[in-house]
Amino acid sequence: MNNLFRDFPTAAVRAEEETFEDLLARPDVRIERIVSTGQASPPGFWYSQPQGEWVVVLQGAAGLLIEGEPVRELRPGDFINIPAYCRHRVEWTEANGPTVWLAVHYELAQDAPTA
Amino acid sequence: MNNLFRDFPTAAVRAEEETFEDLLARPDVRIERIVSTGQASPPGFWYSQPQGEWVVVLQGAAGLLIEGEPVRELRPGDFINIPAYCRHRVEWTEANGPTVWLAVHYELAQDAPTA
């Protein structure tokens, strides 16, 4: 796979589940393609990660909720930086056709065991 | 600016020069939007960077040359990882309308002065 908009995993093509694929995985950064097909975070579930995450929607649409803020509707090209430990969840993704996200995870070293 | 396809710098709108904007700058990663309007690398010029660079074309088109390989035509969604010190250059970018690149620079710490 060398194009973000092609070669979706079977589970994404069948709209069975959200798919996550690493495009680059290095000690300091991880770049991931996420394909959503109508999924949302489970009720009451919040992401809260020890890493920072910079994320952009490139196709489709999604509703992203940062705790304490209104839901943001993300359309193609819309990006946001989610700092480490910032609680957030996906309220909705477009039901008709895939939503393609590109996520850059950084500050990974905070996860590494200390020497 | 919170959308990759809007709010281009004036120099890009006027097609005067290639523009470079940091979207995120951290010790371990730098995310950059590049907008090209027909520019190419100067004749004989090669990029060769101490950092790794993962890059995707999101709008427009470009011809990327990795030394010793054929020119790769990059269209929206096409991505490539350029390892540190891999010599490369931009042979051409689309003359009609902007070409939007997203570049993720990593392994920045290799640049840091040693203690």
User: Could you give the ipTM of this predicted complex?
Assistant: 0.92
Amino acid at B35: V
Decide if pLDDT at B14 tops 60.
yes
For A68-84, write each residue's pLDDT tens digit. Answer: 999 999 999 999 999 99
> What CA–CA distance (Å, rounded) separates A64 from A40?
9
- Check if A47 contacts B (Cβ < 8 Å): no
- Chain B CB contacts of A109 under 8 Å are 28
Residue A108 contacts residue A30 (beta carbons within 8 Å): yes
pLDDT class of B113 with cuts at 50, 70, 90: low
Max CA-CA distance within chain A? Answer: 48
For A24-82, write each residue's pLDDT tens digit. Answer: 999 999 999 999 999 999 999 999 999 999 999 999 999 999 999 999 999 999 999 99
* CB contact (8 A) between residue A4 and residue B79: yes
> What CA–CA distance (Å, rounded) separates B23 from B104?
10
Task: Name which of B3, B24, B76 is nearest A81 (Cβ-Cβ).
Answer: B24
pLDDT class of A108 with cuts at 50, 70, 90: confident
Question: Which helix (DSSP H) or strand (DSSP E) does residue A93 occupy?
Answer: strand A88-93
- Check if A77 contacts B (Cβ < 8 Å): yes
Task: Name which of B23, B26, B75 is nearest A107 (Cβ-Cβ).
Answer: B26
Decide if pLDDT at B111 tops 90.
no
The domain spans of chain A are 17-106
- Check if B56 contacts A (Cβ < 8 Å): yes
- Is 0.90 topped by the overall pTM? yes
CATH of A17-106, one of 2.60.120.10, 3.40.50.2000, 3.30.70.660, 1.10.8.350: 2.60.120.10
Residue partners of B108: CB distance under 8 A and separation at least 6: A28, B27, B28, B29, B30, B51
- Check if A83 contacts B (Cβ < 8 Å): no
